[in-house]
Structure 1
Amino acid sequence: MRIAVIGRPNVGKSTLVNRLIGEERVIANDQPGTTRDSILVPFERDGRRFTLIDTAGVRRRARVEDTIERASVAKTLQAIDEAHVVILVLDAHETVAEQDASVLGIALERGRALIIAVNKWDGIADEQREAIRNQLDLRLDFVPFAPVHFISARHGTGVGELVHATVRAYEAAMREMPTRELTRALEHAITMHQPPLVRGRRIKLRYAHQGGRNPPRVVIHGNQTASVPGAYTRYLTNVFRKTFDLFATPVVIEYRTDQNPYDRRTAGKRSGRPRRGRERR
């Protein structure tokens, strides 16, 4: 299992990596930018093998000036591509910045399972914690499936729960979903809430099968699928997420319109490109 630990400089990424592996293998320093290269750290925990990727902090574009800094950012993006699960580390003492949302959006586009770790939580006064939670809900509302863990990497508070969530996210991202069970879930969803009418005809969704993993991809066959509204796609996403416990991972739904053999306009022609719908909310 490959885990990318990402975030801005000096939020405690290297300290978290050291806490996870139980020894100080990565230099942790209060000086921002201590880690310039992505560092691969293999370790075992509870009989399971992990590879942690400690990345350079992603700064605002205006501050990405020198060649080394640009290379560091590129390696962070490469780490996201290579990971199964991405942990975004935030500093509880700072507001959620544009670059936090930006790098999280990149991980979402890559289809990676996402977990948010709010570090240095032990230093936050009780009366401030609710305001921080509200800010997180507001700024990161485009990834509502991503669980938020409040931790102290230095003291270990909440880190055990973070590991369990990471394993669960990996298992969800790599889960196999049999065609029969996917189709049964689709049929149940349609029974509870039918697709809308399009020019007087009901959209028909016939069956579903798995089209990929990391992220889980569900391919749905039917007719008029190009007209399925986004709201209905989000509804189906939530159904599949609940049915198959797709924890902390984006879900991609891909529609394919079946060819009508009695339609002379389409006879002998291949159907058009599949239409994808990735969860946003």
Structure 2
Amino acid sequence: MNESDRTELDQVDFHEEDFDEADFQEFDEADFEEAEAAEGDIEEVDEGPVPVVAVVGRPNVGKSTLVNRIIGRRQAVVEDVPGVTRDRVAYDALWSGRKFTIVDTGGWERDARDRAKAIAAQAEAAVLTADVVLFVVDARVGATDDDEAAVRMLRRGGKPVVLVANKVDNARQEAESAHLWSLGLGEPHPVSALHGRGSGDLLDAVLAAIPEEPTGVARPRGPHRVALVGRPNVGKSSLLNRLAKEERAVVDAIAGTTVDPVDSLVSVGGEVWNFVDTAGLRKRVGFASGTEYYASLRTAAAIEAAEVAIVLLDAHEPISEQDQRIITMVAEAGRALIIAFNKWDLVDEDRRHQLSREIERDLRRVPWALRLNVSAMTGRAVDKLAPALRTALENWSRRVPTGRLNQFLTALVQATPHPVRGGRAPRILFATQAGTCPPRFVLFTTGPLDPGYVRFVERKLREEFDFAGSPIHVSVRPRKKNGRSRG
């Protein structure tokens, strides 16, 4: 056992002389069967294709409000202006014990141009990958020419469509919504997404429309999504423009120029990536207000929708508490992480030495994050971003075979067993990888493990299987008490 291992395990009072040979014998056949049975109960394991429900409609008819009503929390960004939602964003939902994925889309408009055309294309792609489409119409306005054009688009998609008459707040408006039968999509379902009126009946209709064999294709298969996040004025837009080799985002010396997330398809390292330039986060979302509050929500949504995040830090300024909060936000979202120290051209030798100490002190919670020293102004080392992105994404989606995982853990536990507690040491019976993106591992044990030992196992997993750039989650499933004697 090397010195770093002993230092970490000292936190759980490890003493090698407390163990004998019997404490780390291999588990018996009954233990193996019990662990395998428990493995089938893991909530995170793949349960087969999950139905996909796409929410489509004109701008500002209340699609995102309806999504929030369905998922039971305010996660999709809502504002009383059209065009807040631009991309397809998928959320997990549950109704009457049935899981499904709800996909929020931007407003669909016929003859759209420029950005509106790209938003409409995203909505059409969501229809093609969905099992059921929720077509939302503003019942107070009635069927418009754009609604009728959208119906023709939906019919070309050939998917089951549930017509939603939104913004119906009372019985009189419900009666008036009957004229939406004219769209030819069947019965309109009157709801108030804002107040919840009629939402239960609507969800019953959605479940009834789901086919027996759903496709389960929830997220678009296209360029990897990369979120550029950080405090204001650290150079996110400048880096995007450098990568794109053109002015894709407005750059100004005044902090806070970017408010809305800006999506850009950029070719970097011979591959097309979808970069999302986000608003600078000055403070916690809960303490923001006004435009800054909504910008913070959109940035948080951009992180959730991304696969990997590049957190930009100003290299010639001290690492701030807000920098650490942003990094924690990305890690807790389970996204692959690259920390880019921008403005490296302004860093002198003294600052490099000081920064090294700050990294050791302030970034010790994410030692697995990939780090790069770049300069968006001069182009220094920006060509290293593509290899770093590929590495982080590869490790983010890495799956370890169960046999190899358990061989590694058996050797690890024999070399460094768990400390004795109450006269016995809990043992790891079996382990499995419950999922990817990020990698999630479950340890089946004879009893609870000390948090320090779990951290030790996590670090050894990283060293053995190389998860650089990706968070990993390790959870413990203690064996249920069943009265079986342990001789």
How much does 1:6 deviate?
0.5
Matched, 1:27 2:27: no
| Closer/same/farther in 2, CA of residues 38 and 235 from structure 1, 3 Å limit | same
How much does 1:113 deviate?
1.8
| Closer/same/farther in 2, CA of residues 235 and 24 from structure 1, 3 Å limit | same
Match of 1:180 among 403, 411, 421: 403
Match of 2:291 in 1: 68
> Structure 2 CA distance, aligned partners of 1:180 and 1:196?
25
Aligned to 2:376, what secondary structure does the other structure show? coil
Q: Which runs of 5+ in 1 are unaligned?
A: 265-281
Match of 1:9 among 215, 225, 232: 232
Match of 2:379 in 1: 156
Match of 1:133 among 331, 356, 359: 356
Match of 1:247 in 2: 468
User: Are 1:185 and 1:239, in contact at CA under 8 Å, matched by a contact in 2?
Assistant: no
How much does 1:139 deviate?
1.9
1:77-96 residue CA offsets vs partner (Å, 9 max, x unmatched)? 11111121111101122221
1:230-270 residue CA offsets vs partner (Å, 9 max, x unmatched)? 22111111121122110121211011123354449xxxxxx
Matched, 1:212 2:435: yes
Aligned to 1:198, what secondary structure does the other structure show? coil
1:224-263 matched pairs, under 5 angstroms? 224=447, 226=448, 228-263=449-484
Match of 1:222 in 2: 445
How much does 1:173 deviate?
0.7
Structure 1 counterpart of 2:334, which letter?
G
User: Are 2:285 and 2:293, in contact at CA under 8 Å, matched by a contact in 1?
Assistant: no
Match of 1:48 among 265, 271, 274: 271
Match of 1:197 in 2: 420
> Structure 2 CA distance, aligned partners of 1:168 and 1:62?
30
Structure 2 counterpart of 1:90, which letter?
L
User: Are 2:269 and 2:386, in contact at CA under 8 Å, matched by a contact in 1?
Assistant: no
More strand by share: 1
How much does 1:62 deviate?
10
1:104-123 matched pairs, under 5 angstroms? 104-123=327-346
User: Are 1:8 and 1:100, in contact at CA under 8 Å, matched by a contact in 2?
Assistant: yes
Q: Which runs of 5+ in 2 are unaligned?
A: 1-223
User: Are 2:368 and 2:467, in contact at CA under 8 Å, matched by a contact in 1?
Assistant: no
Structure 1 counterpart of 2:347, which letter?
I
Match of 1:273 in 2: none
Structure 2 counterpart of 1:159, which letter?
V
How much does 1:22 deviate?
3.0
How much does 1:43 deviate?
2.8
Q: TM-score, normalised by structure 2?
A: 0.51
Structure 2 counterpart of 1:9, which letter?
P
Structure 1 counterpart of 2:471, which letter?
P
User: Are 2:262 and 2:277, in contact at CA under 8 Å, matched by a contact in 1?
Assistant: yes
> Structure 1 CA distance, aligned partners of 2:381 and 2:321?
26
Match of 2:320 in 1: 97
| Closer/same/farther in 2, CA of residues 243 and 202 from structure 1, 3 Å limit | same
Per mean C-alpha deviation after superposition, the further-off stretch among 40-49 and 76-85 is 40-49
Identity over aligned pairs, percent: 34
Per mean C-alpha deviation after superposition, the further-off stretch among 117-126 and 64-73 is 64-73
User: Are 2:316 and 2:351, in contact at CA under 8 Å, matched by a contact in 1?
Assistant: no
> Structure 1 CA distance, aligned partners of 2:231 and 2:470?
22
| Closer/same/farther in 2, CA of residues 182 and 61 from structure 1, 3 Å limit | closer
1:141-186 residue CA offsets vs partner (Å, 9 max, x unmatched)? 2212123211101211111223211210111011111111111111
Structure 1 counterpart of 2:342, which letter?
N
How much does 1:187 deviate?
1.1
Q: TM-score, normalised by structure 1?
A: 0.87
Q: CA RMSD in A?
A: 2.0
Aligned to 1:206, what secondary structure does the other structure show? strand
> Structure 1 CA distance, aligned partners of 2:478 and 2:288?
48
Structure 1 counterpart of 2:455, which letter?
R
Matched, 1:144 2:364: no
